[in-house]
Structure 1
């Protein structure tokens, strides 16, 4: 298990940034698409999960989004 994932699970309320989320997605081969055309949300998806997670790109990332990400079956 990655150290970043452990820290996110232990403390989802920390000041996580989109670069932290992107790094975690890269570690687990999760698709993380940046906002397009004036949008403000990143789209996070994986073929093993039916629903997509949309995360606002402003800082810090709220704990609810971190909890959803680390609770997915792909990490």
Structure 2
């Protein structure tokens, strides 16, 4: 797992932004799809399968960071 995910794991309550979520997904080899009309990013395989939805509000709530870390642990390729 990448440095960003490890930092999120250590401190989910930090002031995380959506750019940090995108970076963590890139490091883990998981797609982070921007909203086409709404305000929620979709994390997962672009072709389908399991997905996690994260609101793009700033800062992102710690519960979503914890869910993201768990999701990347389970779904991450790298």
Map 1:1-75 → 2, pairs under 5 A:
1-37=1-37, 39-46=38-45, 50-72=49-71, 73-75=74-76
Q: TM-score, normalised by structure 1?
A: 0.84
Count of equivalent residues = 72
3-state SS of paired residue (2:75): coil
Q: What's the CA shift for 1:43?
A: 0.5
Q: What's the CA shift for 1:41?
A: 0.3
Q: Where does structure 1 differ by over 4 angstroms across 4 or more consecutive aligned residues?
A: none
Specify every segment of 5 or more residues in structure 1 that has no aligned partner in the other structure, as ranges: none
Specify every segment of 5 or more residues in structure 2 that has no aligned partner in the other structure, as ranges: none
Q: Deviation string for 1:30-54 (max 9, x for gaps)?
A: 11111112x010011138xx53111
RMSD over aligned CA atoms reads: 1.6
